[in-house]
Structure 1
Amino acid sequence: MKTKVAYLAACAALLALLLGRVEVTSAVTCNPLQLSPCASAIASSATPSRLCCAKIKEQRPCLCQYMKNPNLQKFIKSPGAKKVSKICRTPFPRC
């Protein structure tokens, strides 16, 4: 009986640990064209759309890769991109 209680207590502790650290992850396909809804907001003083913010959050794991691309880094590192990141409440990546 004591071993059953100890086993259940250990399972409950493990479950609590796992639930505290659960992260939902999904595979992201890195495609800079997915950020096209943000182009006008990055290039001008336009407010980013909800779609733009959603795409920024979706593509966030890819931003460092985009920064390494000489053709894309001028857009990703621009003041407009930092403004969009702030408005969308998506931390700007530190690569």
Structure 2
Amino acid sequence: MKALSCNTACAVLVLVLLTAEAVQVSVAVTCNAVQLSPCAGAISSSKPPSKLCCSKIREQKPCLCQYIKNPSLRQFVSSPNARKVASTCGVPFPKC
């Protein structure tokens, strides 16, 4: 009887881990440049970026090339200050 409960517990643990991994894989980034608005102050001045700004840059990292290719966003996203903010946040500037 003990072996059965251990096997059941192991099976449940494996299912939980597989489910958690599947949920994490299915989460996709929604590219929305407005999400970078917490960084506007740091990009337009020499203020250090906030934790929220860095969090948003990391979140939107897969979208940065899309923003750089957009003529309306290019100057905002690829400015020297924007590169400095990304670097300060530990996000390497993408090579698109």
TM range (shorter): 0.7 to 0.9
How far apart are residue 56 of structure 1 and its match? 0.1
> What is the 5 A alignment of 1:10-89?
25=25, 26-89=27-90
How far apart are residue 67 of structure 1 and its match? 0.6
**What is the percentage of aligned positions where both structures have the same residue?**
62
**How big is the alpha-carbon RMSD for the aligned residues of Structure 1 and Structure 2?**
1.3
**TM-score of the pair, normalised by structure 1:** 0.73
How far apart are residue 87 of structure 1 and its match? 0.5
Show the counterpart of 1:11. none
Structure with the higher helix share, 1 or 2: 2
Instruction: Report the residue type matching 1:35 in the other structure.
Output: L
Structure 1: any 5+ residue segments left out of the alignment?
Answer: 1-21
How far apart are residue 83 of structure 1 and its match? 0.6
**TM-score of the pair, normalised by structure 2:** 0.72
Partners of 1:70 and 1:63 in 2: CA distance: 13
Instruction: Report the residue type matching 1:37 in the other structure.
Output: P
After the TM superposition, which segments of 4 or more aligned residues of structure 1 sit over 3 Å from their partners? none
Partners of 1:86 and 1:65 in 2: CA distance: 19
Instruction: Report the residue type matching 1:82 in the other structure.
Output: R
Structure 2: any 5+ residue segments left out of the alignment?
Answer: 1-20
Partners of 1:30 and 1:54 in 2: CA distance: 14
Partners of 1:76 and 1:31 in 2: CA distance: 13
Instruction: Report the residue type matching 1:62 in the other structure.
Output: C
Partners of 2:72 and 2:45 in 1: CA distance: 19
The number of residues matched between the two structures is: 73
Partners of 2:83 and 2:50 in 1: CA distance: 15
